[in-house]
Amino acid sequence: MALLTRNSEQQQVANRYRRLLRASKEVLSADEVKSLRTAVKHIAQLYSERKTAAGEPYIIHLIDVARICSEEIGLTGSAIVAALLHETLSDKLITPIELDKRYGSVVAQIVDGLTKVSTIDPKNPKAQAENFRELIVTLAKDARVILILLADRLETMRSLGYEDEGKQLKKSWETFYLYAPLAHRLGLYKVKSEMEDLAMKFTNTEEYKTIVRKLKNTSTRRNKFIKEFITPIETELTQRKFNFEIKGRPKSIYSIWKKLHKQEVQFEEIYDVFAIRIILNSPPEREKTDCWQVYSIITDWWTPNPERLRDWISVPKSNGYESLHTTVVGPEGKFVEVQIRTRRMDEVAERGLAAHWKYKGIKQDLGLDTWLSRIRESLDTPSALPEDIVDSFQTNLYSKEIYAFTPNGDLRKFPMGATVLDFAFDIHSNLGTQCVGAKVNDKNVPIKHVLKNGDVVEIITSKNQKPKIDWLQIVVTGKARGRIKQSLRDEKNKQLSIGKEALYRRLKNWKVDDVEAAIITITKHLKLKNSAKLFERIAAEQVNLSQLKEVVAKTDKQPVVQTDTLPKVENLGKPNIEDSDAHSTDYLIIDEKLVNIDYKLAKCCKPILGDDIFGFVTINEGIKIHRTSCPNAASLHTRYGYRVVKARWRQTATAVGSFQTTIKVTGYDELGMVNKISEVISKDLKVNIRSFSIGSANGMFEGTIQLYVFDTKHLDMLLYRLGKVKGIVKAIRLRGS
């Protein structure tokens, strides 16, 4: 039996290896193929005893990562070999010298880079911030490291179903928070979409299954609709001698889910569940012309929505993405999104950074270089705090963009919501710190004015201007935020020095021998937290030093014990709890008997009995219970993983109490509708209503109801019964409740 198992495993490895060779044969030289074979044999020996969570030989995971790098991301040569060996250094199975000797310096450098950026420690926020710093530096040095890191995470997510629930949630939130946004920024849209879908599968399981089922049930009708839409366009493009390909594809499950919640609609009400993509084989000099000609053909057949036209060909996105998007009214009066691009643009969109360097030198493909240089600026700020680096990196990862111009016509790209102050700091730090306003399109505006596409901005400065704390609420870019914080810190340190110097001078005049003891005495007398607060108040002239002479005089008469008045920040908010991965079966059980533990239900998501939940240990309010689908869950898991506790409801026969939730009901504005709703809720299902607000317009009504239910089954029954009432179109639970 053991022999059969071993033979089966060997066959699995051989099949995976052959698939890797097929995917890589066109991009590998004869020497690189030889190096690949050597690497496969080597890792087969190094990991001979190790298994994946699925029980397969661990080498299969490593080979699959290498295949993703080649087949789905487009890496070549040494990067594919490095992908096979990417864990050997971190697992201490080989030394850097041996790696260099066997496979060359390029492979060794890539594997060494992966070792540095693959050790995020959720229990140490500073270490995590340093990891972000290392990741940024690596992007600047060799982006192949980051691409292999993304391939590794994608393969991990594909096999995550074999892990325990704690690891599934942890890996999924990390993917939502860092890896998917990073793939998006590097132009790997296909990788990004699959990562989000796989993460959602574990964080919002029921909603994921529902959307998958509905997509499957509507596939036949959708295919018929797509054929009816593209047939006349195909005919005309062929007549005009275009070399093209047309694809019709459903949107990602996660993007559909976001639309459901953002628009608060049912699946059947989303008009753009799928998109049509037209890919042209056009030479570089005709790309833009051909795309606009195809746009003209499409809009001759189908009516366009002018507000939904997106031209990323004339001005590409920062990650190099180029495409022409439009939404038109197709058959049956349904809206259809159409994407028009060339083969080169499509490869850049699918393979992102790898394709970016393949087509290096094309004018439109310079956006990613600009973004990378701006990210590197976050490292240039003197004494930048770790959290500033994280904020800067996150802000630049996942944001829609707008374009504005200097008076000289230089184009600048910003995240949506950027202000005049962001613009000023983007030009130069000194311009930002002295900014008092701007002329936008020849009109005077304040520093908080939000920029729009196409604005021409001229910054107005004053030498008397200084950054203020409320500026942090005005800016959205990481660069501006980092520069403002640094300026505020510099100003604070300056004031501390002034206050400290004034106090020391006064103590010297009073001929005080023990200066440190005197400062401690004054600090306690004024009931301040530490000496820094004392120096601040002195600099701001909020303390009358003359009145403190008698207080200081007591210092010489009685000994003062030296104490450290500064709190140890690193110990705040870190409760002594078991690591969730160390004991995967340990859960915080939430029921009516939990009287010795201080816990509350989080207001941001209002969990009810039956929801998938987790606990979060707060500093002052005990444990907060959140839904796993909470809007804040990603941030809590990734930034404060050491404070997350696995939790679940005890499945008892009796209800543990009533839970507040909010539902939304819409329907036709008919006489007696409020009574019908109230009867179902109060009389039929005995549900206690806390508040009921309703409004109507154009013959339709919309009501928001806060009420108390026993559990999710009780809520589901309520929504089902409301949905059966004549005149009600839909009844749903609001996301944040």
Residue 589 token pair: 């059980």
The confidence score (pLDDT) of residue 636 equals 81
Which of 137-141, 342-346, 443-447 shows the lowest per-residue confidence on average (mean pLDDT)?
137-141
Nearest to 703 by CA among 735, 737, 662, 736: 662
378 and 384 Cβ atoms separated by less than 8 Å: yes
The confidence score (pLDDT) of residue 226 equals 85
The confidence score (pLDDT) of residue 646 equals 83
CA atoms within 13 A on the CB side of 569: 4
Q: For residue 15, which amino acid is it?
A: N
Q: Residue 57 above 80 pLDDT?
A: yes
pLDDT tens profile 384-425: 454 555 555 555 554 567 788 888 877 788 888 899 999 999
66 and 83 Cβ atoms separated by less than 8 Å: yes
SS (H, E, C) 150-190: HHHHHHHHHCHHHCCHHHHHHHHHHHHHHHHHHHHHCCCHH
Round the average pLDDT of the chain to a whole number and report it. 79
Q: Where residue 511 falls among pLDDT bands split at 50, 70, 90? A: confident
More confident residue, 162 or 737: 162
Nearest to 357 by CA among 181, 185, 186: 186
Q: Where residue 645 falls among pLDDT bands split at 50, 70, 90? A: confident
Nearest to 210 by CA among 249, 267, 264, 155: 267
Q: Where residue 65 falls among pLDDT bands split at 50, 70, 90? A: very high
Q: Where residue 140 falls among pLDDT bands split at 50, 70, 90? A: low
- pLDDT winner (highest mean) among 120-124, 268-272, 287-291: 287-291
What average pLDDT does the segment 507-520 reach? 80
More confident residue, 594 or 473: 473
427 and 421 Cβ atoms separated by less than 8 Å: no
The confidence score (pLDDT) of residue 419 equals 93
| Rounded Cα distance, 567 and 528, in Å | 12
The confidence score (pLDDT) of residue 562 equals 40
At residue 316's C-alpha, the angle toward residues 311 and 320, to 5°, is: 140
Q: Where residue 81 falls among pLDDT bands split at 50, 70, 90? A: very high
The confidence score (pLDDT) of residue 151 equals 93
What average pLDDT does the segment 125-135 reach? 55
The confidence score (pLDDT) of residue 446 equals 93
Q: Where residue 585 falls among pLDDT bands split at 50, 70, 90? A: very low
Instruction: Quote the pTM value.
Output: 0.62
Q: Residue 560 above 60 pLDDT?
A: no
The confidence score (pLDDT) of residue 521 equals 82
The confidence score (pLDDT) of residue 379 equals 45
What average pLDDT does the segment 163-184 reach? 85
State the CB neighbour count (10 A cutoff) for residue 347: 18
What average pLDDT does the segment 30-41 reach? 89
| Rounded Cα distance, 147 and 139, in Å | 10
What average pLDDT does the segment 76-101 reach? 89
321 and 312 Cβ atoms separated by less than 8 Å: yes
Nearest to 417 by CA among 373, 458, 449: 449
The confidence score (pLDDT) of residue 194 equals 93
Cα-Cα-Cα-Cα dihedral sign, residues 38, 42, 48, 51:
negative
Domains identified in the chain and CATH numbers: 2-211 (1.10.3210.10), 215-365 (3.30.460.10), 368-465 (3.10.20.30), 487-559 (no CATH), 571-649 (no CATH), 659-733 (3.30.70.260)
| Rounded Cα distance, 278 and 361, in Å | 25
The confidence score (pLDDT) of residue 708 equals 87
Q: Residue 52 above 70 pLDDT?
A: yes
Q: Residue 31 above 80 pLDDT?
A: yes
What is the percentage of the chain residues whose pLDDT exceeds 90?
A: 16
Which of 51-65, 217-231, 240-254, 595-609 shows the lowest per-residue confidence on average (mean pLDDT)?
595-609
Q: Where residue 584 falls among pLDDT bands split at 50, 70, 90? A: very low
What average pLDDT does the segment 633-639 reach? 78
Q: Which letter does DSSP use for residue 721 in this model?
A: H
State the CB neighbour count (10 A cutoff) for residue 232: 14
Q: Residue 522 above 80 pLDDT?
A: yes
pLDDT tens profile 663-713: 899 988 888 888 888 888 887 777 888 888 888 887 888 889 888 888 888
What average pLDDT does the segment 334-348 reach? 88
- pLDDT winner (highest mean) among 142-146, 186-190, 192-196: 192-196
Q: Where residue 195 falls among pLDDT bands split at 50, 70, 90? A: very high
| Rounded Cα distance, 353 and 73, in Å | 8
- pLDDT winner (highest mean) among 38-47, 121-130, 244-253: 38-47
Q: Residue 97 above 50 pLDDT?
A: yes
Q: For residue 455, which amino acid is it?
A: D
The confidence score (pLDDT) of residue 349 equals 79
Q: Residue 135 above 50 pLDDT?
A: yes
Name every residue whose Cβ is closer than 8 Å to that of residue 84 and which is 6 or more positions away in sequence.
36, 39, 40, 43, 62, 63, 65, 66
CA atoms within 13 A on the CB side of 413: 20
